[in-house]
Amino acid sequence: MAFQNLTLCRSCRATNRIPAKHLADTGRCGSCKAPLGPADEPIEADSSNLLPIIQEAKVPILVDFWAPWCGPCLAAAPEIKLLAKEMAGRALVLKVDTQAHPDLAEIYQIRSIPHFMVFRGGKQFTQSSGLAPRSEMRLWLERAGARMD
């Protein structure tokens, strides 16, 4: 079975399963039929969902590799959250806690954090270590194909 993100309807609070390929789309609640907007918050990624989202998403993806003990990572978190809201429907933002998921840090050869990777069409497009302003992260996503509004 393919990965599906669980999303709560803001109208009726029903849980809806959203396939990875539709995380950036607008849909409808299966219960009350109210609109469900695209993912507008960073998605917590782990070994079960990171690769399916990277492979199936129709929009560019920014992955923030971070850890809870990392001061610069914590400083970046509010900007990452704002970026997810700003890019909703045009890109996805994922967060990987490298302390909780050292296997993913190893697979993606993360040597310092915060570390950002952008994926497009299932493949790595670019990467950068260290803090970056939201405007730069937005530019990475736009260069990877995110529509500009």
Is residue 1 domain-resident?
no
Is residue 32 domain-resident?
no
* Domain enclosing residue 105, as ranges: 39-143
Is residue 89 domain-resident?
yes
Rounded distance between C-alpha atoms, residue 45 and residue 101, angstroms? 9
CATH number, position 113: 3.40.30.10
pLDDT digits (tens, 9 = 90+) for 80-126: 999 999 999 999 999 999 999 999 999 999 999 999 999 999 999 99
> Is residue 12 among the annotated active site residues?
no
Single out the catalytic residue among 9, 29, 32, 70: 70
Q: For the whole model, what pTM was predicted?
A: 0.92
Is residue 8 domain-resident?
no
pLDDT digits (tens, 9 = 90+) for 27-83: 999 999 999 999 999 999 999 999 999 999 999 999 999 999 999 999 999 999 999
Is residue 91 domain-resident?
yes
With 0-12 / 13-18 / 19 or more C-beta atoms within 10 angstroms meaning exposed / middle / buried, residue 75 is exposed
Is residue 47 domain-resident?
yes
Domain count, the chain: 1
> Is residue 70 among the annotated active site residues?
yes
Single out the catalytic residue among 12, 29, 32, 73: 73
